[in-house]
Amino acid sequence: MSWDPKTYLAFGDERTRAAADLLARVAAEAPEHVADLGCGPGNSTALLAARWPRAKIDGIDNSRAMIAEAHTTPIQARWIEADVASWAPDAPCDVIYANATFQWVANHEVLLPRLMSHLVPYGTFAFQVPRNFHEPSHAIAQEIAGESRWRDKLARVREWWNVLEPEAYYALLEPIAERIDIWETRYVQTLEGDDAVYRWVLGTGLRPYRDALEGEEREAFLAEYRQRVAQAYPRRANGITLFPFQRLFCVAKKS
């Protein structure tokens, strides 16, 4: 599926806040080898490089456009185009970090233990995933996709909702982790400008719908979504649109 770094970074500060909140709970002091899975245009990798300037940092992403954008930054990292579902590091990592990536990757029951196996003993695994799939921003897209005009073409789009319950992540990691820190935060994003929620979701959650349609059909779908989502998230008199957004965080220290 196509990613557009510019659309994604339109709300770069807001999106990177969760990356910083996740990193703040990682205790590793001087890791030698750090991997940023789903590094995107490098916004999360920049935080890792600033925190651990001496570490060897790998930024991994399966989007050519995102990796190309990351290459244009001054961040000291190796940029690697690879799918995290099959990625393996060239040497075990001290920290494996993934901010806002795993919601796009299936089968966490297999993925997470496999990634933990790529850590050194007592290494740290840290990830954050959105848990807002029942909020209007997503429910409206699904509602439109279920209408007769779109149903046939969009029936399979929902498959990317891979996120598990917090208790399931705990149970998955418990046998292989010495300590697990798991929590949720419901941010209330304050977004500026017209059609703010539409523009936010266009860079992420709407991509699978957009990619499954072409031409006029795509435009009609997006116009319908834009109108309904503007009603669900009205812009306030001061120009701000409030966008509640729940996220799940997990930091596990390997046994």
Ligand X SMILES: C[S@@+](CC[C@H](N)C(=O)[O-])C[C@H]1O[C@@H](n2cnc3c(N)ncnc32)[C@H](O)[C@@H]1O
- Positions that interact with ligand X (CB under 6 A): 3, 15-16, 19, 38-40, 43-44, 61-63, 66, 83-85, 99-101, 104-105, 204
Give the ranges where the chain is alpha helix by DSSP (H).
5-9, 12-24, 43-51, 64-71, 108-116, 136-145, 151-154, 166-173, 196-202, 207-212, 215-232
CB of residue 117 to ligand X, shortest distance in Å: 17
Q: Which residue, 66 or 248, has its beta carbon nearer to ligand X?
A: 66
| Rounded distance between C-alpha atoms, residue 29 and residue 74, angstroms | 23
CB of residue 25 to ligand X, shortest distance in Å: 15
CB of residue 2 to ligand X, shortest distance in Å: 9
Q: Which residue, 128 or 241, has its beta carbon nearer to ligand X?
A: 128
Alpha-carbon separation of residue 61 from 7, 64, 70, 87, 169 (angstroms) = 17, 8, 10, 10, 23
CB of residue 59 to ligand X, shortest distance in Å: 9
CB 141 within 8 A of CB 201: yes
Alpha-carbon separation of residue 44 from 60, 143, 171 (angstroms) = 11, 32, 27
CB of residue 38 to ligand X, shortest distance in Å: 3
Q: Which residue, 39 or 251, has its beta carbon nearer to ligand X?
A: 39
Q: Which residue, 127 or 150, has its beta carbon nearer to ligand X?
A: 127
Q: Which residue, 4 or 224, has its beta carbon nearer to ligand X?
A: 4
- Tokens 């649109």: give the residue: 241
